[in-house]
Chains A and B, each alone.
Chain A
Amino acid sequence: MVGPGRSRCCGPSGAAPAMNCRAEVLEVSVEGRQVEEAMLAVLHTILLHRSTGKFHYKKEGTYSIGTVGTQDVDCDFIDFAYVRVSSEELDRALRKAVGEFKNALRGSGSDGMGQISLEFYQKKKSRWPFSDECIPWELWTIKVNVVNLANEQERQICREKVGEKLCEKTINIVELMNRHEYLPKMPTQSEVDNVFDTSLKDVQPYLYKISYQITDSLGTSVTTTMRRLIKDTLAL
C-alpha cells in the first residue's frame, strides 16, 4: 500500500479516548556513513519501549506475557551505544528499512535531506468490501541531514558530536515515553492482531510501519515509499 508518509487519523474509535495521533519529531545531522547506525539507534530505542513479550492466551480471557531480552549495541561510526530488544527478526526488519532509506538518501535527486517515520497504529476491521482502517496513535519522525566532511579530523569530531546528539535524543525519547499517554487497550485474543505485530516469534511490538521521504534540492519531497513490514493482512 503506497500512500503519503503521514497517515491521517480517521474516525473515533469506540474504546479509546480522544484519538489524537501524537507526533514527535527528532532531528539529526550525520555523516553519510553514520546514517544507518543513527537511524537504527533511534528506532530500536523507540521499539524497545513499544515491544512486549509474546502473549499467550489462556482460558477465561487471561493471558501471560513472554520475556523480552535486551542487548547492547556499539556503533562503529559513532561514539554511541544503545540497547535493543533481543530479536533478530525485528533487527533485520529495521535494517532493511533503514538500508532502503540510506540508499534513497544517497540516490540522485537528493541533497542529503530526508526523514524516516515510525508509525504505530491500530487496525479497525471494516466490513467487506472495505479494507481495514489503520488508525495511527503515535508517529515518530526522524529528520536527517547528511553532511559531507572534508577530513579525518572533522570526522572524528563528528563521531563525538553525533554521539552526544544521540544521547540527547535518547533522553528525549525516554521523556516522551514517560508521559504515559494513550496506549491501545490490551486486546482480547481475537483482537490481538489489530494491536500487536504477532508475526515475530520472540517479541511482540505494537503494530508499526516505517516510511520515508527524501527531500530533493528544491525542498519538495519527491519520493515517498511506504513499506509494510508486518504480515500482510489485507482482508480481501
Chain B
Amino acid sequence: MDTDLSSQDRKDLDKFIKFFALKTVQVIVQARLGEKICTRSSSSPTGSDWFNLAIKDIPEVTHEAKKALAGQLPAVGRSMCVEISLKTSEGDSMELEIWCLEMNEKCDKEIKVSYTVYNRLSLLLKSLLAITRVTPAYRLSRKQGHEYVILYRIYFGEVQLSGLGEGFQTVRVGTVGTPVGTITLSCAYRINLAFMSTRQFERTPPIMGIIIDHFVDRPYPSSSPMHPCNYRAGEDNGAVYPSVEDSQEVCTTSFSTSPPSQCVFTVTKAHFQTSPPMVTDTLKVPVMGLAFSHQPAALGVGSADMGYPVLFAGGLNAAHPHQLIGPGKEGGVPPVPNQPAHGTQADQERMCTPLDGVHYSAATPSSSEDTETVSNSSEGKCGSPHDLLETIFIRKVGAFVNKPINQVTMANLDIPFAMFAPKNVELEDNDPMVNPPESPETESPLQGSLHSEGSSGSSTGNTHDDFVMIDFKPAFSKDDILPMDLGTFYREFQNPPQLSSLSIDIGAQSMAEDLDSLPEKLAVHEKNVKEFDAFVETLQ
C-alpha cells in the first residue's frame, strides 16, 4: 500500500508549513508591538488570507522570517525560533520569551493534508493568538516606550533557552500531526524578572532613537540582529511614567498607603520555582512588635521608606511556587511561603503565613516567645493582621476565671451560654471568684470592639455576685459516665494560663515603640546570624 504522500499533497503540505511559519512570526511580533490588534472579518474570501484568519503581514517581519528560514522549512532538529527580549534605556537587555516552532518525527499518515491539516493549523494560529496575550511579556510589551523596548529576533536551528534564566516556564500552544511529522508550537518564558527592579524607578527620557528607526541593524554578538517590536514613530505616550503599582509586571514592590497595619509587597505573576533573594513575595505583615527574620532587603526599596517592620520570609528560595496572599476568600488562603526550616509542603497546611515564617526563622529563645504565641494564636486563622490581632486580644472570660488575673482566654474556647453556666467548684481551692481580667480597658483599641456582649456582661456582672457552689453542667453534655466528659474538658481547658508574652505590657505598647525597638532587635538577630544558620542546618 502506498502510504507516501502524493506529490500534490507534499507540495501543499510544504506550502502550508511555510506560510504557517510566516504567520506564526507575524502573530508573535504583532502581539509584542505594544498595541491592541484589530482586524476585520470578511465574509467573502479574499484568497490571500491564509488559514482563513485575518493576520496582517508586516513586510519587515516577513522579510526577517524569510531570511532566517533561508528557503528551509522547520524539520526535525531544525526549529524556527522567535526570541522576544527587553532592552532598557541604559542598554541592559534580557530575554523574555522564546517561541519555538518545531517538527518531530511522529507522523500521522492517515491525515488529510488539504483539509484536516489546514484546519488544524488554523486552529493552532487561533490558539497562538490567545496564548500570546497570556504570557508575562504581553503586559510588559503594552507598556514599552519610555524605559524599555521590546525586541524580537528570529533564528533557525537549535533552540537556545539558556538566556531565559533559571526556572523558566513552558507553555505548549498546540500540535498538529502531518504525514511528515508533528508540528509543535510552544513558548518558554522567563519567570525571573528581578534585574529590572533596580531600574524601574529611574525616569529616563523616551528612547526615541530606537523607536523611530527600526531598520537599523544593531551590532549584536548573536547571529541575527534584534529588532524592535515597536514602531510607533515618535509617538508620545504623554510622558506617563509607569507608577510603582503599574510596574508590577516587572518586579514589584508596591506599598499600601493605608491602613498602616499592612505592608503589601506584590510580586510578578506566575510561579517562582527558584528565586534569588531579590524577589519578594506578597506578605501582610502585622504591625505588632514581633520578631522577624532579617533578610537582605531585596530591592532596597520599601521597608525603610515605610518604616514598618518588613518581613522577608526566609525561605523564598525554596522550590515551591509562591503565591499571593489574597483576601483569603478565593478558595482559601494560599500556601505559606516555604521556610528553610521546613523545606516541605507541610507548611501549606498552616493558614497563617508570615508569622509562621517568623516563628521558624528566628531561632533565638528570646524572640521565639513572641513568635510562638503569635503562631499559636494564628493557627487556623486566615492571614490578615487584623484577624491576628483579634485573636490575640480577644479576651472572653470563661464563666468563672479561677486563675489569677493575667489570664487570657482564647476566643475559640468560649463555651456556649457562658454567662449562664454555673460556677466551677472542683478546681483550685483558692479563688473560685470570678475576677474580670485586670485591665480590659488598657488593652489594644481593638479589644473594645472585639469583646462580646456575653463576656463583658459576665465579667462585670460576676464581680458583684455572691458565690454559690453549683455543679458545673455544661449544656448538651451527658452525665459523668466517661472519665473525660465535656464538663471536665471545659474545666480543664477553660482557663489556660496566660502566655507571658501576652501580658498587658506588650498589648499597650504602641506601634511607634515597637518600631523604635526594631533596630535593636535587628542588631541582635544580626549578631546571632550564625546561630540561626546552624539551627537551620540541623533542621534540614
Contact = CB atoms under 8 A, between A and B. Distances in A.
A158 B45 CA distance: 43
Interface in B234-273: 245, 248, 256, 262, 264, 266, 269-270
B316 to A, nearest CB: 19
B167 interface: no
A50 B269 CA distance: 29
Nearest to B329: A147
Contacts of B481: none
Interface string B109-143: 00000010000101110110111011000110010
Contact of B41 (A81, A82, A87, A167): A87
A178 B324 contact: no
Which residue, B40, B264, B266, has most C-beta atoms of chain A within 10 A?
A: B40
Interface string A134-169: 000000000001011110011011101101100100
Given A153-B256, A160-B248, A86 B38 contact: yes
B433 interface: no
A68 B425 CA distance: 82
A64 B42 CA distance: 12
A174 B115 CA distance: 21
A177 interface: yes
A188 B264 CA distance: 60
Interface in B43-86: 43-46, 49, 52-54
Given A52-B52, A85-B41, A86-B39, A70 B129 contact: yes
Nearest to A44: B130
Interface string A61-87: 000111111111010000101110111
B330 A66 contact: no
B131 A70 contact: no
Contacts of B133: 72, 81-83, 170
B534 interface: no
B224 to A, nearest CB: 28
A170 B264 CA distance: 28
B327 A202 contact: no
B94 to A, nearest CB: 21
A48 interface: yes
A93 to B, nearest CB: 15
Interface string B212-250: 000000000000000000000000000000000100100
A179 to B, nearest CB: 9
A161 B324 contact: yes
A203 interface: yes
B134 A167 contact: yes
Contacts, number: 152
B173 A202 contact: no
Contact of B120 (A68, A154, A180): A180
Nearest to B35: A72
A29 B270 CA distance: 18
Given A83-B133, A160-B324, A171 B41 contact: no
A56 interface: yes
Interface in A187-236: 201-203
A49 interface: yes
B46 A67 contact: yes
B134 A29 contact: no
B331 interface: yes
A199 to B, nearest CB: 12
Given A53-B45, A164-B269, A202-B43, A177 B38 contact: no
B5 to A, nearest CB: 20
Interface residues of B, number: 50
A149 B42 CA distance: 43
A68 B53 contact: yes
Given A153-B264, A171-B171, A71 B39 contact: yes
Nearest to B173: A174
A110 interface: no
Interface in B371-419: none
B53 A70 contact: yes
A171 to B, nearest CB: 6
A97 to B, nearest CB: 20
Contact of B54 (A70, A171, A177, A186): A70
B38 A69 contact: yes
A1 to B, nearest CB: 29
B138 A81 contact: yes
A147 B331 CA distance: 10
B130 A67 contact: no
B237 to A, nearest CB: 16
Given A150-B327, A180-B120, A48 B53 contact: no
B454 interface: no
Given A157-B324, A161-B324, A177-B123, A68 B41 contact: yes
A149 B327 contact: yes
A29 B45 contact: no
Interface string B260-291: 00101010011000000000001000000000
Given A53-B52, A150-B327, A164-B269, A48 B130 contact: yes
B172 interface: yes
Contacts of B139: 79, 81
A82 B129 CA distance: 9
Interface of A: 29, 45, 48-49, 52-54, 56, 64-72, 74, 79, 81-83, 85-87, 145, 147-150, 153-154, 156-158, 160-161, 163-164, 167, 170-171, 173-175, 177-178, 180, 186, 201-203
Given A67-B46, A68-B41, A178-B127, 5 more contacts: A48-B129, A67-B45, A71-B37, A83-B130, A153-B264
17 contacts: A29-B329, A65-B52, A66-B41, A67-B49, A68-B54, A69-B38, A79-B139, A81-B36, A86-B38, A163-B269, A171-B171, A174-B127, A177-B127, A178-B174, A180-B120, A186-B115, A202-B42
List the 8 closest pairs (A to B, CB-CB), nearest first.
A178-B174, A69-B39, A71-B38, A72-B36, A29-B330, A69-B54, A202-B41, A69-B41
